[in-house]
Amino acid sequence: MNEVVLKISDLEFYYNKNHKLFTNFNLSLKKGEIVSILGSSGSGKSTLFELISGFLKPKKGLIEKESFSQVFQDPYSSFHPSYSIISQIKEVADLADYLKLCQKMHFDPNLLEKKPRELSGGELQRASIIRALLMKPKLLLADEPTSALDNIVQLQVMKELLLNLSSFGLLLITHDEALASWCSDKIIRLS
């Protein structure tokens, strides 16, 4: 369980040279671990997510990562509105285990036949998590993955993520200190 799935070395990033978000930032995440990134709005949590994803390029430093999938904070922006959810999942993942995973997530698999706007935010977020897990990543990047869920479903989803943790490492970006304290091996606070 000591396979490193994400390694960030001496990361530097800024939008404005006078205000650097990251200077000599280092992080290592292994398969089977959860590292939570906590911070207030504007502290760089989502920027870090975009740097790791490759949407932004570091000014300096190195980001090495294994195959990854993502769960975005806003589930409506992570699906195309014109196509069924199942057709979008088929484009990126094998559907072999989807029925079992839907059951574990307390999610009606028939909802996958619908278009994103036909689901509630919580249902769509669970569909997003199901898609991410079906991609069989070694690294799961999750930006506020349970913020659209009620407390009971949030607990069920987090328990399912923990049960699958042997196959990936989880980088959890959250503002929820209680959630991070409950599930994390390590917490990094951004200021």
Architecture of domain 4-190: 3-Layer(aba) Sandwich (3.40)
pLDDT band at 179 (very low <50, low <70, confident <90, very high): confident
- Identify the top-confidence range among 65-74, 81-90, 101-110: 81-90
Q: Is the pLDDT of residue 176 over 80?
A: yes
Residues in the chain: 191
What pLDDT, on a 0 to 100 scale, did the predictor assign at position 35? 96
CA 189 to CA 186: how far, in whole Å? 10
Query: In whole angstroms, how large is the CA radius of gyration of the chain?
Result: 16
What integer is the mean pLDDT of 26-33? 96
What pLDDT, on a 0 to 100 scale, did the predictor assign at position 1? 54
Question: pLDDT of 15-25, one tens digit each?
Answer: 988 889 999 99
What integer is the mean pLDDT of 163-181? 88
- Annotate the chain with DSSP letters as a single string: ---EEEEEEEEEEEEETTEEEEEEEEEEEETT-EEEEEE-TTSSHHHHHHHHHTSS--SEEEEEE-SEEEE-S-GGGGS-TTS-HHHHHHTTS--TTHHHHHHHTT--GGGGGS-GGGS-HHHHHHHHHHHHHHT--SEEEEESTTTTS-HHHHHHHHHHHHHTGGG-EEEEEES-HHHHHHH-SEEEEE-
Q: Is the pLDDT of residue 148 over 70?
A: no
Q: Is the pLDDT of residue 62 over 90?
A: yes
Q: Is the pLDDT of residue 158 over 70?
A: yes
User: What ranges do the domains of the chain cover?
Assistant: 4-190
Question: pLDDT of 64-85, one tens digit each?
Answer: 999 999 998 888 888 999 999 9
What integer is the mean pLDDT of 22-41? 94
